[in-house]
Structure 1
Amino acid sequence: MTTTATNERTPVILWLRRDLRLQDNPALNHAAETGRPVIPVYILDEAGEGRPRGAASLWWLDKSLRALAESFAERGASLILRRGDSEAVLRTLITQTGATAVFLNRLFEPEAWARDADIAHGLKAEGIEVKGYNGSLLTRPGSVLNGSGGPYKVFTPFHRFLLATAVQPAHTTGPRDLSGAPDVASETIDDWGLHPQHPDWSRRFDWTPGETGATAELGRFVTHGLANYGKGRDMPGVPATSRLSPYLHWGEISPWRAIAAARKTAADGKVPGAEADKFVAEIGWREFSAHLLHHFPTLPTHAFRPEFDAFPWRDDDVAFAAWTRGQTGYPVVDAGMRQLWATGWMHNRVRMIVASFLIKHLLIDWRRGEAWFWDTLVDADLASNVQNWQWVAGSGADASPYFRIFNPITQGEKFDADGTYVRKWVPELRKVPDRWLHAPWTAAPETLREAGVQLGTHYPHPIVDHTEARNRALEALKTVSGRRADASGD
């Protein structure tokens, strides 16, 4: 391939991926600063990033791209949609438009990183300029290293170093005028069929994907949720979480902007500083997960602590199906799984509870649970998903102790004491008194009759006994720990 001579009117390609915003978008800003016409393109490359996207993610992508196309149109540009192999599509666009440069925000997952590097090397060899930036993390992986020059494996020192060294970029609103790019053929989002059909299981999704939705969600959070974030984020019946995770994953908002909003709210005296710090720490865990996956590319398939790869998992398809459907007989577990199916999202505390139940109570491989989350979460993020599942399993970096086995009864009683969450997602139990709500099988028969509940008919009996399951898990864990430890009762 040969290229035309670069001049001030030669267009440049803006290759969008998980940076679906105009504000605080370094690749977009640098492309516009060239003074040349900018051609924004999104390529639906289902294999290019290593793992095909899940159904809920495709639902989100459909809505996000529609919103992004409107934003570009308001500034005089057309968002070009193409489906296929990323390199082949880019080369076709270069031939069609005479573009001599490609601007992009980097992806840091191992397979996507390697794919992008191969594309960049190939295009540069043929005279095409390729410019990459960090638009998704507070700082790029490899920039936060310990005293020995290696990656941190414990969160607290990682986060401390991150906050001390990462530099917040100036806020940008994006170029106001992006007109002047040559006309380029585009596919339509309707042709891609990303929205679920027959049946449309997304009807209860309560999200507004896109940059405008992200801004609104951030505003809601700092106004109504941040003041009680430290405690409230553990209460699934309380709207205290940020709900920013899908917007951060798809790059509809910069993590720096989320942090700046929280810190400003605290600086203005509207919330305690400790609440903002706690939120920043949760952004830090997202960062920690991304850095770990970049340095340890086998995390999606192998335990970070290799001894856990010898764990004696059980192949129990019946139990796994009950877990996915929210029919385990443990109300807080079932509420979480039903919330996930209905909304494409699950409260963070409940994610830990349901993951622990699958791994420790059912002894089902964490990778099966991670795959289910990947398909059903609108915020499915490879690094965070894998890191969090391994954290619960005890096999990850800085993980929960392997012998920590969540008691789903006491977890429900502690974090959903008034039953708001369970009664919303497990309505067949809504009349069961609080005292027995999280363990309905312990209620007297007349109490259940008065509540209109017959176990085994209206709501299932527990598929495992908690005490027996805990003891079984501890015996299995001896194979990787070499010793027996007392189970945590939380």
Structure 2
Amino acid sequence: MDKQPVSIFWFRRDLRLDDNAGLYHALKSGKPVLPIFIFDKDILDKLEDKDDARVTFIYETITALDKELHQHGSGLLVIYDTPAHAWSKLLNDYNIAAVYTNHDYEPYANERDDSVAMMLKKHDITFNTYKDQVIFDREEVTKDDGKPYTVYTPYMRKWHQKLTPFYLKAYPNKKHFNNFYQTKTLPLPTLKAMGFGKSDLELPQINYKELIADYAEKRDFPAIKGTTHIGLHLRFGTVSIRELARTAGTFNEKTWLNELVWREFYMMILYHFPHTGDHAFRPEYDRIKWNNDEKKFEAWCKGETGYPLVDAGMRELNATGYMHNRVRMVVASFLSKDLLIDWRWGERYFARKLLDYEMASNVGGWQWSAGSGTDAAPYFRIFNPESQMKKFDPKLEYVKKWVPEYADFSKYPKPIVDHAFARERCLKAFKEALSK
């Protein structure tokens, strides 16, 4: 054991040194700070694709973090193991004074953190977590009676009422970088050693500022570069949420800021209503008799439904790990309403493919599309994929990019379901479930 008392900072969804709440408090603790990252076997072993681009992104990001720490005489201790085994070894190898990290909100993360906190408590070591990936935490924006909101619009209004410059202030971490634990270069496990290969997908860079000014006008048109692709960086904390919110204020771009509010709303919902991870927010919607046709689901996954906008979206997802926000709503509505396939099938497919996958937002978005979530709109809101294409891709630029054979009707598949028929079937199925 290294006898020198150290504070440990545990990187998770906050992969940056600047403006990092938990790291700031660790650096101010008075003890040298040893930064660590755990490649969690409990998560990695469940990933189907061994060239998962998110693993590549994380690996490249922590490699860069390690190099940045070298400039301050320190380094990142990277462990490939389960959290339980990793912390057992850390307790054996180091004289740990305290552990610092940032809140995580997903059900698995809550269980993991509770388990680690109990392990540390047996050694009289405190487990300190801080708000970092949101502007407002789980219980900071509530109804007047203290209960959580279950509808977005009043939550959003209260969110904006509560917002002051105080909440957007950056943590001055740089002032305390001399407090990092001084160590020799620590070897990083390779991707290959963890059973993964490098992904060939192009990973989006942080260049959101140039797109914010016109976001409200351009965001719904998939052929235009009108969205910021910042989701991946938000998911893993390579950019500060406070920086994003400040920038939105600089551009006076409330539409874009409200997308960040949606994210926090869904995080709050998942925290207070953890059953929504795999059950309908409104229990009566779990009574729906889904027509889970595996062949039609496969056609949806491959982008071979005979509906050009749906197919373009799915092919974009499969090829790039991204899908345009407007198109996400269309393909989700098509699966759950036109094909009457359980929204959870689609949610799991998105979880596998999306670079910017975030459980709370993904589950919330899918339940919004299926009509089973917090949204007050009735279940008979069903997107027409043809009219959506005419409205948001009128020149077929997006469709032609991803579905080139659409130009030749002899090569393009016929629709796997008739929309008018599917709409009536959906309405009937939902009415039967909700009338019980």
Indicate the residue corresponding to 1:385 in structure 2.
362
Indicate the residue corresponding to 2:203 in structure 1.
207
- Which ranges of structure 1 fall in alignment gaps of 5 or more residues? 267-272, 433-452, 484-490
Amino acid at match of 2:382: I
Name the CA distance, whole Å, in 2 between partners of 1:193 and 1:323: 32
Whether the 8 Å contact between 1:226 and 1:262 is mirrored in structure 2 is yes
Query: Judging changes above 3 Å, is the alpha-carbon distance between structure 1 residues 262 and 14 closer, same or farther for their aligned structure 2 residues?
Result: same
Does 2:278 align with 1:301?
yes
Quote how far apart the aligned CAs of 1:162 are.
1.8
Does 2:287 align with 1:310?
yes
Amino acid at match of 2:240: S
Indicate the residue corresponding to 1:353 in structure 2.
330
Amino acid at match of 2:29: T
Does 2:280 align with 1:281?
no
Whether the 8 Å contact between 2:27 and 2:180 is mirrored in structure 1 is no
Quote how far apart the aligned CAs of 1:50 are.
12
Quote how far apart the aligned CAs of 1:143 are.
2.0
Name the CA distance, whole Å, in 2 between partners of 1:70 and 1:124: 32
Amino acid at match of 2:147: G
Query: Judging changes above 3 Å, is the alpha-carbon distance between structure 1 residues 290 and 53 closer, same or farther for their aligned structure 2 residues?
Result: farther
Does 2:68 align with 1:38?
no
Query: Judging changes above 3 Å, is the alpha-carbon distance between structure 1 residues 131 and 51 closer, same or farther for their aligned structure 2 residues?
Result: farther
What do residues 38-85 of structure 1 show as CA deviations (whole Å, max 9, x unaligned)?
A: 211111223279976973432332332233223323333211111222
Whether the 8 Å contact between 2:303 and 2:310 is mirrored in structure 1 is yes
Name the CA distance, whole Å, in 2 between partners of 1:304 and 1:49: 28
Amino acid at match of 2:318: W
Does 2:395 align with 1:418?
yes
What do residues 238-278 of structure 1 show as CA deviations (whole Å, max 9, x unaligned)?
A: 111121111101111121211101211x2xxxxxx3xx111
Amino acid at match of 1:86: P
Aligned residues: 430
Query: Judging changes above 3 Å, is the alpha-carbon distance between structure 1 residues 3 and 400 closer, same or farther for their aligned structure 2 residues?
Result: farther
Indicate the residue corresponding to 1:25 in structure 2.
20
Indicate the residue corresponding to 2:101 in structure 1.
104
Quote how far apart the aligned CAs of 1:192 are.
4.3
Quote how far apart the aligned CAs of 1:27 are.
1.3
Quote how far apart the aligned CAs of 1:124 are.
2.4
Indicate the residue corresponding to 1:470 in structure 2.
423
Larger-gyration structure (1/2): 1
Whether the 8 Å contact between 1:390 and 1:399 is mirrored in structure 2 is no
- Which ranges of structure 2 fall in alignment gaps of 5 or more residues? none
Q: Give 3-state SS (helix, strand or coil) of 1:78's partner.
A: coil
Query: Judging changes above 3 Å, is the alpha-carbon distance between structure 1 residues 28 and 136 closer, same or farther for their aligned structure 2 residues?
Result: same
Amino acid at match of 2:167: Q
Q: Give 3-state SS (helix, strand or coil) of 1:369's partner.
A: helix
Whether the 8 Å contact between 1:61 and 1:194 is mirrored in structure 2 is no
Instruction: Give identity over the alignment, percent.
Output: 38
Does 2:72 align with 1:75?
yes
Whether the 8 Å contact between 2:379 and 2:430 is mirrored in structure 1 is yes
Amino acid at match of 1:181: Q
Amino acid at match of 1:99: I
Name the CA distance, whole Å, in 2 between partners of 1:53 and 1:25: 31
Q: Give 3-state SS (helix, strand or coil) of 1:298's partner.
A: helix
Q: Give 3-state SS (helix, strand or coil) of 2:322's partner.
A: coil
Does 2:145 align with 1:159?
no
What do residues 192-215 of structure 1 show as CA deviations (whole Å, max 9, x unaligned)?
A: 446547xxxx43x3324xxxx43x
Name the CA distance, whole Å, in 2 between partners of 1:85 and 1:179: 25
Equivalences for 1:70-469 in 2 at 5 Å? Answer: 70-166=67-163, 167-172=166-171, 174-175=173-174, 176-177=177-178, 180-183=181-184, 186-193=187-194, 195-196=196-197, 202-203=199-200, 205-208=201-204, 213-214=205-206, 217-218=207-208, 222-223=209-210, 225-264=211-250, 266=251, 273=252, 276-429=253-406, 432=407, 453-455=408-410, 458-469=411-422
Name the CA distance, whole Å, in 1 between partners of 2:178 and 2:432: 63
Name the CA distance, whole Å, in 2 between partners of 1:325 and 1:353: 15
Quote how far apart the aligned CAs of 1:30 are.
1.4
Quote how far apart the aligned CAs of 1:384 are.
0.6
Name the CA distance, whole Å, in 1 between partners of 2:98 and 2:276: 34
Query: Greater CA deviation, 370-379 or 80-89?
Result: 80-89
Query: Judging changes above 3 Å, is the alpha-carbon distance between structure 1 residues 140 and 370 closer, same or farther for their aligned structure 2 residues?
Result: same
Quote how far apart the aligned CAs of 1:180 are.
4.1
Name the CA distance, whole Å, in 1 between partners of 2:405 and 2:44: 42
Whether the 8 Å contact between 1:314 and 1:363 is mirrored in structure 2 is yes
Amino acid at match of 2:232: P
Whether the 8 Å contact between 1:76 and 1:178 is mirrored in structure 2 is no
Q: Give 3-state SS (helix, strand or coil) of 2:132's partner.
A: coil
Name the CA distance, whole Å, in 1 between partners of 2:32 and 2:20: 17
Q: Give 3-state SS (helix, strand or coil) of 1:10's partner.
A: strand
Amino acid at match of 1:207: L
Q: Give 3-state SS (helix, strand or coil) of 2:275's partner.
A: coil
Name the CA distance, whole Å, in 2 between partners of 1:195 and 1:164: 46
Query: Judging changes above 3 Å, is the alpha-carbon distance between structure 1 residues 50 and 383 closer, same or farther for their aligned structure 2 residues?
Result: farther
Query: Greater CA deviation, 242-251 or 471-480?
Result: 471-480
Provide TM-score, normalisation by structure 2: 0.92
Query: Judging changes above 3 Å, is the alpha-carbon distance between structure 1 residues 28 and 250 closer, same or farther for their aligned structure 2 residues?
Result: same
Name the CA distance, whole Å, in 2 between partners of 1:3 and 1:193: 27
Query: Judging changes above 3 Å, is the alpha-carbon distance between structure 1 residues 12 and 52 closer, same or farther for their aligned structure 2 residues?
Result: farther
Name the CA distance, whole Å, in 2 between partners of 1:23 and 1:382: 25
Name the CA distance, whole Å, in 1 between partners of 2:72 and 2:203: 25
Name the CA distance, whole Å, in 2 between partners of 1:336 and 1:243: 15
